Amino acid sequence: MAGKTAPTGTDPATSAASGSPETPARRLRADAQRNIDSLLAAAKSVFGTAGVNAPAKQIADTAGVGVGTLYRHFPQRSDLVRAVFQREVDACADAAPALAAALEPAAALASWLKRYTEFVATKRGLATALHSGDPAFDALPGYFMQRLGPALGSLLDAATASGEIRAGVSPRDLLHAVANLCLPVPGEGPAYSQRMVALLIDGLRYGAEHQPP
């Protein structure tokens, strides 16, 4: 990054001199969006290693922007935590229709639950913040359920309809159960969570119409 000398559009002076057709306002908005994207990706990474209370400078440095830019877009730490969380939830929800299109219903369900397990297992720092009682996070559990509930629900419905899993297990129950199975256990890593989630998935398959040979 430091060695880059070509105009990248992040410097308004360079960009204006190159006669870009973008209006300054639109260019500013594009720059701002790029900064936001970089900050969210950086925050996700830094939160994962150093926790959600990591120094602002570490996040700004990782994003390649100044600390002032971080504070302009995310005045409070809770704003940044909330934005990272929502982006992660969105990505996980969006994986559901993609998997449903690519795999058989039960396999799509199992793949998505593994994806969701990874998401939860690597987001412990976020979970701690979310359960801190800070009113800034009040809406997030609702957002989580509102996005992931229907995503999982459609996969469960398809696998029930195909006879590969039994009916009667709610998306809400499963989302909570997997989240709890991702809580740290002494001496165990993410493989433990995945093993236990696989057992839950087999529990869904047990007693279904279509049994394995």
Q: 9 or 149: whose CB is closer to a copy of itself?
A: 149
Please report how close the Cβ of residue 196 comes to a copy of itself at its closest, in angstroms.
4
- Following DSSP, what letter does each residue of 82-93 receive, concatenated? HHHHHHHHHHHH
Q: 98 or 199: whose CB is closer to a copy of itself?
A: 199
Q: 33 or 211: whose CB is closer to a copy of itself?
A: 211
Please report how close the Cβ of residue 195 comes to a copy of itself at its closest, in angstroms.
6
Q: 10 or 162: whose CB is closer to a copy of itself?
A: 162
93 within 8 A of 148, measured Cβ to Cβ: yes
Please report how close the Cβ of residue 137 comes to a copy of itself at its closest, in angstroms.
13
Q: Which residue has the tokens 């209370």?
A: 53
For residue 107 the two structure tokens come to 């396999």
List C-alpha distances in Å: 130 to 5, 143, 185: 41, 12, 20
Q: 43 or 106: whose CB is closer to a copy of itself?
A: 106
Please report how close the Cβ of residue 203 comes to a copy of itself at its closest, in angstroms.
4
Please report how close the Cβ of residue 121 comes to a copy of itself at its closest, in angstroms.
12
Burial letters 114-145, b for 16+ CB under 10 A, else e = bbbbbbbbebbbbeebbeeeeeebeebeeebb
Q: Cα(197)–Cα(110) distance, rounded to whole angstroms?
A: 9
For residue 56 the two structure tokens come to 């602002």
Q: Which residues contact a copy of itself (rule: CB under 8 A)?
A: 141, 169, 173, 176-177, 180-181, 183, 185-186, 188, 192, 195-196, 198-207, 211-212
Q: Which helix (H) or strand (E) holds 30?
A: helix 24-50
Rg (the chain; Cα; Å): 21
Please report how close the Cβ of residue 22 comes to a copy of itself at its closest, in angstroms.
47
- Residue 147's contacts (CB-CB under 8 Å, 6 or more residues apart) are 89, 90, 92, 93
Q: 102 or 199: whose CB is closer to a copy of itself?
A: 199
